[in-house]
Structure 1
């Protein structure tokens, strides 16, 4: 398949849509339901974007809205284990592209795409309390029609966009993302100073890299807070 074939199926928007999270969720869910009605094959969608945009929550809500025929596959489950990151000298920048099992993630998506109606596929999950992947923590049942995967680098890694029916990009204000990430790192055990340093030296450089992949996505949603009356 040509690298742009999946984009020609549904032409990209001329520009990003400025919407609330609920509006973006409604738009994606409506499009997914249309795809399921039109295509008997397994539909696989990806949610990409920088850290702190709420991709995991968004993906899980799409799955919840579609119901039992949908399954969730987090890219974070393919983090290299901390032991491997320390062995490779990459632990201090965990979350960068080369701290994931890219080949494993790509192979899992390939297997999932081919397994509809024939077999369940087990995939790893990610435990934020442990900050470690958990082998076979999730399953994509053979009966599932929709697979929703999400992660920072879906548009960056060669071969991943081609496996997806749609690839969406979620973004939000840098200040909003930064506040969420600092709070997340503090909840994970870092001090305030450590959390801010991690955001500045790891998360934000990753976000700048991820921003270069926007053009590979079918639709871009700029998430804004709903207006207050």
Structure 2
């Protein structure tokens, strides 16, 4: 897993279309397939996830979404243990809740499942943004810590059938993250400080999990 033979460099749209064509269209009929998109902050996981869901649905595959970011702890909870200043670190998520949702997705096929997401404008998770319909053959999740092996995250990987790691240069990540924070209200100095003190340490932690992925994507323009 994660060797150089599993690395594919191409435009993101090409990578997504190849995945749909060669891996997911011939799905087993008796169970759901759960696909995880992993990578550091700023790697483009949300965009890739949305593109994959769209492509699957266009191919006639009923699909649901369960993003990891929906399990951010609220600001109120983070304030109770003084963690808002490092929001996004592995211990600022409800990993047990995320795990329970993935377990439910794998076993519950007779009802609609509602999943939360994270609003960057509100800086808070929001309930029931996404649905997993009873007929969903594929469920897509994405997040930084899908391949972590500590803090309860080690119980996530066994619930995923396929994990793809988005490999993006650190310089590109830093530039994207500063732009993201500025877009959501931080001035340039505060945006750069947050990236330096919070985001980039998380980037380094996630990069070390790359070798546990089944596939590595290097999206190019």
TM score, norm. by length of structure 1: 0.88
Distance 1:60 1:26 in 2: 13
Distance 1:13 1:72 in 2: 29
Cross-structure match for 2:119: 127
Aligned length: 214
Match runs of 1:145-160 below 5 Å = 145-156=137-148, 157-160=153-156
Cross-structure match for 2:160: 164
SS at match of 2:66: strand
Match runs of 1:190-205 below 5 Å = 190-205=186-201
Distance 2:137 2:36 in 1: 14
**After the TM superposition, which segments of 4 or more aligned residues of structure 1 sit over 4 Å from their partners?**
none
TM score, norm. by length of structure 2: 0.91
Cross-structure match for 1:107: 100
Where in structure 2 are there 5+ consecutive unaligned residues?
none
Note if 1:59 corresponds to 2:55: no
Query: What is the RMSD of the two structures over their aligned residues, measured on CA atoms?
Result: 1.7
SS at match of 2:129: strand
Residue pair 1:13, 1:219 contacting (<8 A) in 2 also: no
Q: Is the alpha carbon distance of 1:13 and 1:26 closer, same or farther for their aligned partners in structure 2, counting shifts above 3 Å?
A: farther
Distance 1:160 1:18 in 2: 26
SS at match of 1:172: coil
Q: Which segment drifts farther, 25-34 or 146-155? A: 25-34
Match runs of 1:1-229 below 5 Å = 14-36=5-27, 38-67=28-57, 69-116=62-109, 118-156=110-148, 157-225=153-221
Where in structure 1 are there 5+ consecutive unaligned residues?
1-6
Distance 1:131 1:18 in 2: 33
SS at match of 1:139: strand
